[in-house]
Amino acid sequence: MVGVDGAGRTHRLRELAAAAAAPVWWPAAPTGTPGRLLVVDDAHRLDAAALRTLSRAARGGVPMVIARRPTIGRPELAELDGIVAAGGVEILTPLDHDGVARLVATLTGRPVSPDVAAAVLAASAGLPAVAAAIATAPPGVPAPALLARVQRRFAALGRPVVTVARVLALELDLPDHVLAGAAGTEATGALRILRDEGLLVPDGDRMIPAVAVAVLAELPAAERRRLHDAVAGALLAARADPVAAAGQLRAARAVTPVAATVYREAGERLRFDDPAGALGWFDDAVDAGADPAAVAPGRAEASALLGLPVDADHGDGRLALVAGAVAAHQGRTARAAELLVGAAGPGAVLAVPAQVGLGQAPATVGPAPTALVRLAEGALAAADPEAALPLLIEAAEECERRPPAVVLPDTPHALAAVVAVTAGDVATAEHLLAPRGRDVGGPVFAERHRLLLAWARMRAGRYDTALIELGRRPGAEQPGRERLLRAALAAGMARRRGDIAGLREAWTGAEPLLARRTADLWQLEMLEELAVAAARLRRPGRAEPVLGLLDAIVTRLGRPVAWSVALGWIRLHMAIVTEDAEAAAGVAGQLSAVVTGAARPRAQCAAAALWARVLAGHVDPEATVAVTEDLHAAELPWEASRLAGQAAVRTSDPVAARHLLERARELAEPDRAAAATGGAGLSERELAVARLVLAGSTHREIGAQLYIAPKTVEHHVARIRAKLGTTTRAEMMAVLREILTR
């Protein structure tokens, strides 16, 4: 009979003895006679002489049943076992669910529910002695019988084995070499002893859960802390993965100085990959006694990546880098440049985009990771957007391959998108801001990338993404830079929809941000929407200080063509919304002196000259169509549509007016190419109306955008509903959502 202690060896021997036909002898001494069944319990405990005597008796024909532990540790026991085993070997296995239920019912004298039986089975691993102790224990406390059993066993075992048992009681999943390091002894032999003692789960190296509870219950608090430190030290010495090691220590509720080191290392490992998880480890490190100053840099990095408040302005090293990045997120560009230039490591390189944004570009780029060097080089080349774009794209790709271990003031994806739109290349901006690039820079940049994508598409005349973003409610308070971007997006959509109330709301949200006087080059085109909103609301003076800042920045950069024209374009549209022909003519005169081969600024300069003449009442239909073609090619379709529309209402030639008005309507289509597919029999104009209805525009807003009367919009909607076979607006919207978004 083979089984660990507590497996029921003695109980089984009694059953066999009771069923035996021959007389049974339970000897106090190892003797016996043929014909009488000799029953020997705990054969492994007998001395060598007794085992040899039993072997002689067995060879002499004495029938014998012996019970022992699984491990055969001496040759005398091996000899006896070999003789008796010829008659068969019975291995005692753990009880199953039904066996546990029967045992508990027998001990308690009442039926046992399946849930109770399952709980006892899980806690006891099916070992009968442990299950019996649990079944008869008072609820909510370690089983007294198990406590006594553990104490008896530990009194007989050597300290190394007891130490291994106590480490196992922490219920950590430790490799053998870490277990040995924590216990300070070789683990294999100790595990074999503990398994024979019935303290480990069958066929495993884990401690039986209920036994582990009993071991820890009798363990003094000081000893438990010592064990925690020993485990933490062994994990560090073994160079275990700090996150896995920290998970082990957290499971053991370890709060010791060495455990604090492991928790801090786990936070450092995760701060860029899982900043929220890293903050949890940093909290655990401080709770376990880590120096808050040692944890501060990692905590600041993780917090900044999550967009949480960070107080790092007065730090140095990594804290200074974080402070500079956070200042950039908040839209405080000058402060960001100041902090980053004074920071160690890659600080000077990270400062370059902010310095360029202020018109204070350095002459050289210092050593840093490749992604950051390319980002700085791209920023330095921003005077020519078409030259800067390849460098920024390379920086973005490198950032995706090997993300730098630093909080970025801005991502290469974001800066490249701004430069791409300025160069009239919205497709590149969309590619860079697609979902695969949105994870770069951490969660704090996810919304920035989404808003920039919406802004780029809005500039290109596609409004669905912008409306989705404006309908999305931000989870936490946004940094100042993103609040300004969101306000510019809202103002741009209100401007394109002819929504004065929306324009006023967007301006109200942006005005306090503009009052901070923190504009930079990278915000120039976005600020167009807010400056035009101020002019449309008869408050142009509120935008002038910001325009003055931008003018000074462009001047410090040497008046590069693309940015000078973009700034003039803002003033042109401020004049257009107020119908100030004189101001428009002044801007057009300034832009007429610009000489450039770049398509977008060339189209803008030509459009400025033509627009000034249109506002003065001089319309050249052919020239207008040609200029609108160039604007459309430069990804400025809405402006092209406005120019054609305003020329149409100012010409005295009715034929030219109809032609220009039709041209304005064509340019106002949100997405003609996409609309032409799968439209369920709808015409192009009906598809255009349908998309705007689906985006939430009112009939008046659709009419203003497509240059048709609200009543005409109403007729289009009625025909759409009829063609789709729907009877209610809700049904129509559901069908449109299906055919226009698939």
Q: Quote the CA–CA distance of 350 and 343 in Å, as a whole number.
A: 10
Give, in order, the Cα–Cα distances in Å from 490 to each of 156, 538, 698, 702: 78, 18, 16, 16
Q: Quote the CA–CA distance of 28 and 734 in Å, as a whole number.
A: 89
Query: Is the pTM for the entire model greater than 0.75?
Result: no
Check if the beta carbon of residue 471 is closer than 8 Å to that of residue 451.
Answer: no
Q: Quote the CA–CA distance of 485 and 441 in Å, as a whole number.
A: 18
Q: Quote the CA–CA distance of 356 and 482 in Å, as a whole number.
A: 19
**At 205, is the pLDDT very low, low, confident or very high (cuts 50, 70, 90)?**
confident
pLDDT higher than 50, residue 376: yes
Check if the beta carbon of residue 590 is closer than 8 Å to that of residue 618.
Answer: no
Task: Report angle CA 464, 467, 472 to the nearest 5 degrees.
Answer: 125
**Domains of the chain, with CATH numbers?**
9-87 (no CATH), 342-564 (1.25.40), 672-741 (1.10.10.10)
Average pLDDT, the chain: 88
pLDDT higher than 50, residue 673: no
Q: Quote the CA–CA distance of 518 and 327 in Å, as a whole number.
A: 11
pLDDT higher than 90, residue 408: yes
Q: Quote the CA–CA distance of 393 and 371 in Å, as a whole number.
A: 10
Residue pLDDT, tens place only, 497-532: 888 998 999 999 888 888 888 899 999 999 999 999
Give, in order, the Cα–Cα distances in Å from 480 to each of 308, 328, 330, 586: 13, 9, 4, 34
Sign, CA torsion 238/242/246/247: negative
Give pLDDT, residue 28. Answer: 52
Q: Quote the CA–CA distance of 636 and 629 in Å, as a whole number.
A: 10
Q: Give the pLDDT mean for 613-639.
A: 92
Give pLDDT, residue 676. Answer: 40
Q: How many residues does the chain have?
A: 742
Which residue, among 381, 358, 372, 396, has the nearest Cα to 524 in the 3D structure? Answer: 358
Residue 373 has which token pair? Answer: 């060097």
- Give Cβ neighbours of residue 82 (< 8 Å, ≥ 6 apart): none
> Cα torsion at 505, 510, 512, 517 (round to 10°)?
-160
Sheet of 37-40: strand order equals 24-25, 37-40, 64-66
Give, in order, the Cα–Cα distances in Å from 76 to each of 32, 49, 85, 171: 18, 8, 14, 36
pLDDT higher than 70, residue 150: yes
Residue 676 has which token pair? Answer: 């032409």
Residue pLDDT, tens place only, 313-328: 677 789 999 999 999 9
Q: Quote the CA–CA distance of 347 and 339 in Å, as a whole number.
A: 8
Q: Which amino acid appears at position 418 of this protein?
A: V
Phi and psi at 37, nearest 5°, equal: -75, 125
